[in-house]
Amino acid sequence: MQGVAHLYAITMSRARVTIGRLEHIALPGLGIARVEAKVDTGAYRSAIHYQRMKVRSIEGVKRLVVTFQMGGQRKTKAFKVFKRIAVKSSNGEVSKRYLITTTVRLNGVSVRTQFTLFDRSDMKFQVLLGRKFLRGRFLVDVSTKHLIG
């Protein structure tokens, strides 16, 4: 029984914030003050829309130069740290995507998280927040939206 009490104490010490299926977030590392994100509990990693992307050598160092257009803003950022990973889509197809790390701010809470870059221009939401971002921090009430952002 002590194990259950210990687990309960750990769970209660990490109070989770309830969020809706859609929330407004900021991406301060990308210079995006406000954009609507879809919370996707079926996705392991988060994903973000890019407009243009190219690997360039800047001062002899490879950088991933990405242009984002979201929240009514267009921003370009060069990432020093990036890699390509295999991602399985919801329809079962596996593709290679670039993976970057940036900060998400939601209701005053800032979280460093990984995003795969994907052309989501034909999709309704430019940002998806996956389970890796949510884990241990947030609970999702799918019946609501914009609970905190």
Q: What's the pLDDT band for 88 if we cut at 50, 70, 90?
A: confident
Kindly report the CATH number that applies to the domain delimited by 16-141: 2.40.70.10
Could you tell me the sign of the dihedral formed by the alpha carbons of 90, 40, 64, 111, in that order? negative
Mean pLDDT of 6-31: 77
Residue-wise pLDDT for 34-68, tens only, equals 999 999 999 999 999 999 999 999 889 999 999 99
Q: Where are the domains of the chain?
A: 16-141
State the pLDDT at residue 149: 67
